């Protein structure tokens, strides 16, 4: 598992780890403003500015786990939704026999994660998407096989 970020992450020293001095503590306490009686605070204003700039400040797309989590859950949803939606659309548009004959073409959709694995910029996302696809398939097939075995064994 690759834990290094795709890009170097710039870090700045945390001011809370600096030695406390009388001037520094006075400066820190003077920076904190009490909330306005109207209900608006500095945090609310910052959140409104961030929303106007394209999203809330807590949505850190450069965070190392963002790509991993979004790739894994994209793979999970991809494996569940793509065949279901494809089958539903086919069944709505053509006769049942034709839809049954055309359904295996949903495997063409597996080219999407394959392309993501090949392109260098999306390789990390593609790896986690493939992990989500494989782990979902293993869980679904494993649980389905276990339930089928229990049903057959009980008669």
Report the distance separating Cα 75 and Cα 69, nearest Å.
10
Report residue 105 CA to chain centroid gap: 27
3 state SS of 31: helix
Instruction: Tell me what pLDDT residue 65 has.
Output: 86
Instruction: Tell me what pLDDT residue 144 has.
Output: 97
Instruction: Tell me what pLDDT residue 58 has.
Output: 57
Entry pTM: 0.58
Q: How many CB atoms lie within 10 A of CB 74?
A: 19
* pLDDT tens per residue across span 47-97: 455 555 555 555 566 777 888 999 999 999 999 999 999 999 999 999 999
In this predicted structure, the answer to whether residue 31 has a pLDDT above a threshold of 60 is no
With pLDDT > 70 as the criterion, what percentage of the chain qualifies? 60
103 close to 86: Cβ distance less than 8 angstroms: yes
- Block residue for tokens 């939704």: 81
Secondary element (H or E) of residue 146:
helix 123-154
Instruction: Tell me what pLDDT residue 12 has.
Output: 60
Instruction: Tell me what pLDDT residue 93 has.
Output: 94
Q: Which residue has the higher pLDDT, 23 or 76?
A: 76
């Amino acid at each position: 598992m690759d834990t290094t970020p795709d890009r170097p992450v710039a870090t700045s020293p945390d001011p809370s780890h600096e030695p406390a001095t009388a001037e520094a503590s006075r400066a820190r306490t003077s920076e904190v403003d009490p909330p306005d009686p109207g209900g608006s605070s500095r945090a609310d204003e910052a959140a409104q500015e961030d929303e106007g700039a394209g999203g809330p400040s807590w949505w850190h797309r450069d965070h190392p786990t963002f790509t991993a989590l979004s790739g894994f859950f994209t793979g999970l949803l991809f494996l569940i939704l793509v065949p279901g939606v494809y089958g539903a659309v086919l069944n709505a548009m053509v006769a049942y026999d034709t839809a049954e004959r055309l359904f295996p073409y949903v495997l063409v959709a597996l080219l999407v994660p394959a392309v993501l694995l090949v392109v260098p910029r999306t390789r990390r996302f593609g790896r986690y998407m493939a992990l989500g696809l494989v782990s979902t398939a293993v869980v679904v097939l494993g649980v389905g096989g276990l339930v089928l075995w229990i049903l057959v064994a009980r008669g």
